[in-house]
Amino acid sequence: MNYAIGIDVGGTNTDIGLVREDGRIVDKLNLKTNEYYDAELYISDMAAKIKELMGRNQVTDIQGIGIGAPNGNTYTGSIDKAPNLNFKGQVKLAEMMRGHIDTKVVVSNDANAAAVGEMVYGGAKNLDHFITFTLGTGVGSGIIIDRKLVLGSTSTAGELGHSIIIMGGRKCGCGRCGCLETYTSAGGIRRTALELMEQNPLYNGVLRNIAPENLTSKMVGDAANAGDPIGLQTFENVGTILGVAMANAVTFSAPQAIFLMGGPVHAGEVLMRPLRKAFNENLLNIYEDTVDIRVSELADNEVAILGAAALINM
Amino acid sequence: MNYAIGIDVGGTNTDIGLVREDGRIVDKLNLKTNEYYDAELYISDMAAKIKELMGRNQVTDIQGIGIGAPNGNTYTGSIDKAPNLNFKGQVKLAEMMRGHIDTKVVVSNDANAAAVGEMVYGGAKNLDHFITFTLGTGVGSGIIIDRKLVLGSTSTAGELGHSIIIMGGRKCGCGRCGCLETYTSAGGIRRTALELMEQNPLYNGVLRNIAPENLTSKMVGDAANAGDPIGLQTFENVGTILGVAMANAVTFSAPQAIFLMGGPVHAGEVLMRPLRKAFNENLLNIYEDTVDIRVSELADNEVAILGAAALINM
């Protein structure tokens, strides 16, 4: 069996996993990202953890190290000005890591890594062309064409969460208006539920009893699945907008499948039913019956490490 | 010098050009597409014209034959159910042509061919990543990533004219609503001008004197350039919508440039000024200063043949 290391750099935690070629995470260790202010020390400790993982699992050789990180740049192997990390400017992750461990090191952002993870370990093993959408704090996406990750000229291609789906629509954290993620991220779902409650003063269901600041997209999904009208209408709206966005994405790269991942996807059919309906209604006829809408085959709590490990196959 | 044949299959005419590797169309001949009902005869006559072109220009060897055709499929080398052609079903153009002339034959649709033409003979000779938008009867597009044309799983990728830019917007010929081409094709421009005139009953300018059925996008552009308020407002709207659509396209493939081609582009700054403004205002900040908006370097009356000839480099 061959092994790779997959590292998920988050603002709080850095998860380091030893991944077997069949996609099993054999073992993992953790660093507290936010306790580090010195990138050299951070990467040196990361390398020590990798060696510890290899040692205690009797793995003497790895095929490479993949790192998924906010603003991870595949061309430069660096993290560039990530807003949630203590390290300022450009951190040359790949180069610094190779100073400790002489192997292939590939860096990318987490949404791109998730797409490569789906290709290597998930439901896209036999697909040449597909797109992934990750619904979470934001909406991430990764685009695979001819089994290659689309990086574009900047390594930052595949930001479909920031394509404008409604001109002049909701204000987005990025400063612009109408981005897909303002409607279909976890926060967007929350926002839709709150708007709908405001528009329906007579609504007196389960979501009304939750203080707005405590409302989560999971609660809205649970309510929808229990038949709550605001919950259902929220996912109807979210699914419809996402369905149109996916139909638009098809006009770009004519994929064989689009994969959905992330927490809100667990709402299940209350999301998927309106999504499929809007997708089919808005799909250009030449693409009819050529694209599957699917749920990721990677577990939410494993996709970050698996995606990162998969990067070494790029 | 090396030579290629570029063939532009239109509903009325088929133009056949002998193209020198520096992008000069040395000579051309023509067939009346709509006089043919038998594909075998059509292609046999096409091959005869190619031989005639080569003979009368003392060209003994060509590098290949590229054919741009409605619904041209690169994977199968065929035209599939093109609505404006007399030939029904699938016409296996490449295979049939090779029966007459033993050389590389590549088929694609005209918008894709235009993108490859820009890469081989036009302004994208040194670019790895770019997108072209052709404004005409419809809005065509071609996407180049890593100097390769994006074909997707169906060979029909790059239909950005049918991405939905305004949900629930104008009815499109494709049966859906809000497609980019309903706003930014020649017909879309005409439609906007007519709508604006209806909304402004006091307007008494030059466009008011033209019978609606005679109004063309060129007239609207000429009016705009002469300072006519309806003309200017039309291009303001068209440019704004196209600018947003281009900013959206950037989130997909992070291109170095986007090229515009087609008749309406000759309206010049009345189109380009609002387009650039909307593009810059709606471009995600990570792409700032990484994308040029440019006008195609290929002449309108040459792009079809040059694009087709360029296909043999794929």
Q: What pLDDT digit, counting tens, does each position of B159-203 carry?
A: 999 999 999 999 999 999 999 999 999 999 999 999 999 999 999
Widest CA span in chain A: 65
User: A109 in contact with B at a CB cutoff of 8 Å?
Assistant: no
User: A254 in contact with B at a CB cutoff of 8 Å?
Assistant: yes
A175 Ramachandran zone, left/alpha/beta (phi>0; psi -120 to 50)? left
Pick B128's closest partner by Cβ from A150, A153, A241.
A153
Task: Mark yes or no for CB contact B152/A284 under 8 Å.
Answer: no
Domains defined for chain A, CATH in brackets: 3-117+302-313 (3.30.420.40), 124-295 (3.30.420.40)
Pick A152's closest partner by Cβ from B129, B157, B164.
B129
User: B1 in contact with A at a CB cutoff of 8 Å?
Assistant: no
Pick A176's closest partner by Cβ from B155, B160, B282.
B282
For A24, the 3-state DSSP assignment is coil
pTM of this prediction?
A: 0.96
**Distance from B291 to chain A by nearest Cα, in Å?**
9
Task: Mark yes or no for CB contact A153/B286 under 8 Å.
Answer: no
Q: Edge-to-edge strand order for the sheet containing B25-32?
A: B25-32, B13-20, B3-9, B65-68, B105-108
Q: Edge-to-edge strand order for the sheet containing B72-73?
A: B72-73, B78-80, B90-91
Task: Over range B23-35, report the average pLDDT.
Answer: 97
**Distance from A68 to chain B by nearest Cα, in Å?**
18
Residue A266: CB atoms within 10 Å: 15
Backbone angles phi, psi at B302, to 5 degrees: -120, -20
Q: Is the pLDDT of residue B83 over 80?
A: no
The structure tokens listed for A116 are: 């490569």
End-to-end CA distance of chain A: 19
Q: Is the pLDDT of residue B138 over 90?
A: yes
Task: Over range B88-94, report the average pLDDT.
Answer: 91
**Distance from A260 to chain B by nearest Cα, in Å?**
17
Task: Mark yes or no for CB contact B150/A145 under 8 Å.
Answer: yes
Q: For residue A142, what is the nearest residue in chain B, using CA coordinates?
A: B252
**Distance from A252 to chain B by nearest Cα, in Å?**
5
Low-confidence ranges of chain A (pLDDT < 50): none
Nearest to A223 by CA among A204, A241, A240, A245: A204
The structure tokens listed for B155 are: 């060979």
Backbone angles phi, psi at A36, to 5 degrees: -105, 135
Q: Is the pLDDT of residue B92 over 90?
A: yes
Nearest to A33 by CA among A85, A72, A79: A85
Side chain identity at residue B116, one-letter code: V
Nearest to B139 by CA among B186, B205, B172: B186
Asked whether the beta carbons of A119 and A147 are under 8 A apart, the reply is yes
Helices (H), B26-82: 39-56
Average pLDDT value for chain B:
96
Helix, strand, coil shares, percent, chain B, to 5:
45, 20, 35
Task: Mark yes or no for CB contact A152/B175 under 8 Å.
Answer: no
* The pLDDT of residue A225: 98
Chain A neighbors of B146, CB-CB under 8 A: 148
Residue B159 DSSP symbol = -
User: B206 in contact with A at a CB cutoff of 8 Å?
Assistant: no
* The pLDDT of residue B89: 84
Side chain identity at residue B43, one-letter code: I
Q: For residue B280, what is the nearest residue in chain A, using CA coordinates?
A: A176
